[in-house]
Structure 1
């Protein structure tokens, strides 16, 4: 009798991203002497586009952030100018996805402000915002720009409300939002949009994940929050799936995958470790790679997301002894294609006053352009006007190759 030889070797899916590795920038390409905020708020505190890095900073008697040209690495002047005008600490900053010279900020003073960065850039303090959005009754913790419609911005505050603002007019101050979503009964911890902005996902302090129609303001799906306490939630591009990070009922850090059309039972749950640091999820729709960045640690785990089981294919982990207080991500249109870079993080290292770029690189021998790892990505031209979106039209992102 003969027996077939059995192999117990782990079976790996063929993937061009299997050997992606993280490469920290050389010292001369880091940003030093940066006065990073000491706030304990669970936000990124950093926003990046191909022109600038913005970082929430310390400021006496109010809230401020600084804007550094992305090419201006090295040691920052101790008297480097700030963008200041908030009466309370700045809690979140986000660049306009369609204009590298417009940034939004929100603050403990219950306001959202829209700022114009000089073009060409001039290093000077800016105290007057182009627009001030006043409507929330408590501190505003999060802001997000709509992914396809121009001049639409969302804000959420400790009054449990999500407000939608249309800044597509010439008035210096907007006193009221165009829509208000009131379906949460506790503090909203994160917001995320699907690719065309027709759906919004939120995680809330009540442990639940929700999928919401942002135009109608109604809940479409809701998790029960019993087995997974969600802190952050993210749409996974065009996969019709969500990922949330948080903790299990036994307080292990956990990553959970959901079907956006059915939040009753998770598709996949994975316990990671017993650490207490928050996990920030980031997804690259071009490569289907999911990155989990631990706050207060130096590590970045990364996975490839599949449409079928097993949904999360662990790839590797970037390790560093420098703990990140916050993190920014460069839009795909800004990566260095000559080095096969597919993603770039900007780590805020408070203990050293340092911003450290970390590039995720696909190892390739050829120095020519690698077309297979750079599909068409989101460009800077909005697919819709603010008026079109508010009238009920949804349209996918416009791309650049």
Structure 2
């Protein structure tokens, strides 16, 4: 007798479900550049999408909540003189973003707290050193203001953003195509057009080791894993797409073919759960795998399939996810027709409690080191934060305490006046308006120590604002009735005894 053993994993049933169109972003002029880039970057506040722009390069920045149709004249970030090829948000400041362009420059931008109200063309930092187009920017994971840029001049530069100075210059024999920092930012691994992988000391530019990667000539992508291993995607000699796993010495552990499509595969790695998502350019699928320390090391989980191919794709950092819905990843998929689709990936759970096993501590926005400390030789892993802080207990089945309801009613006399007959409102409208206007000030000045448990001042203020709107509506209605009554020569006698 034989039977099949199914590998146990809490991520076996991860599934993606795209949001409705009105909850996504539409009418975006996505760039038509042929450069192999994701064209999109996301953080917990904004989404940035590289767009078409006449006479130069530009990208669009939108607050996450500003979904729906994007205006054609929406403000953009447009200071580059040629097409923008890559954008990346700073992991330690949600308002700062770096952009790389065909105009041979790297620029760092400060986005206003509430988003763009007018087009931005003045960066806070200009980084000038590359002699050819710059196609890649990658921020340091734990040190503040350290940025890597790679260009077609066969060079990688490590920058100190705070001083606009080059920390190190790394020469390559061919164009570097992809780069990734290790867990504490002490090493960089890069793939290049000569099909080799190189591990480099980013402070000195010293080559630590190198070895051949994928045999195909098409671009290869590389990611440093948390345990020091290296994950790559690329092509075989027969142009079949592959993924591979390498140890820290660039010895191959796993090499697996995927399919025979020709789009570059971008890997998105989650170090908290050891999941890796593979998104191919021009594909309509997102494949995801779990990486373990035991053979066969890379375990296929599932595939999210849709009808439309992806022009580019963005990946939400873990701290921007909705933990109440057991969301473990979220993608922002760019369609060729100017539509950005949001795809949350969730793990189905029946419990409404915080799921500790799904959300170990993750990257925070607090840097572990300053730029000077890192340059001097210190290394530190990223500062972590608990995802439990973003969890909100469901209140849909919890009734409002009786004493809180009584307190709301007692402190809002305008509520009673809006339910009385219209002629009484006419007589008391001015007095009612004064009461509504002065009540918030009285409540806000009340000592919170004297309030009963469960008394929520903010909710009362919100209720009062709503009442003010109701009262103003009644006043407009009454004024209209008075104007209509003044047009009559005779006003009918009202029997007060009725």
Which of 362, 367, 370 pairs up with 2:347?
362
Deviation at 1:287, TM superposition (A): 1.0
- The separation in 1 between residues aligned to 2:242 and 2:302, in whole angstroms, is 17
What is the alpha-carbon distance in structure 2 between the residues aligned to residue 211 and residue 37 of structure 1?
32
The answer to whether residue 206 in structure 2 is matched with residue 231 in structure 1 is no
Structure 2 unpaired stretches of 5+ = 387-498
Match status 1:6 vs 2:8: no
- Contact 1:33/1:354 (<8 A) preserved: yes
Query: Aligned ranges for residues 45-194 of structure 1 at < 5 Å?
Result: 45-169=39-163, 174=164, 176-182=165-171, 184-194=172-182
Greater CA drift, 184-193 or 212-221: 212-221
For residues 46 and 224 of structure 2, the distance between their equivalents in structure 1, rounded to whole angstroms, comes to 25
Partner residue, 2:297:
311
Any idea what SS the aligned residue of 1:120 has? coil
Match of 2:462 in 1: none
> Contact (CA 8 Å) 1:190, 1:202: kept in 2 or not?
yes
* Structure 1 gap ranges (5+): none
Partner of 1:279: 265
The offset of 1:277, in angstroms, is 1.1
Deviation of residue 178 (structure 1)? 2.5
Question: Is the deviation greater in 20-29 or in 215-224?
Answer: 215-224
| Aligned residue number for residue 378 of structure 2 | 393
Aligned to 1:371: 356
Q: What's the counterpart of residue 214 of structure 1? A: 202
CA RMSD of aligned residues (A): 1.2
Partner of 2:233: 245
Q: TM-score, normalised by structure 1?
A: 0.94
How many residue pairs align between the two structures?
385
CA gap of 1:152–1:357, structure 2 versus 1, over 3 A, is: same
Q: What secondary structure is seen at the aligned counterpart in 2 of 1:373?
A: coil
Cα distance in 2 between the residues matched to 1:327 and 1:350? 11
Distance 2:283 2:264 in 1: 10
Report the structure number with the largest CA radius of gyration: 2
Q: Secondary structure at the match of 1:251?
A: coil
RCO (CA 8 Å, sep 6+): is it higher in 1 or 2?
Answer: 1
CA-CA distance at 1:333 after TM superposition: 0.2
Separation in structure 2 between the aligned mates of residue 299 and residue 315 of structure 1, nearest angstrom: 13
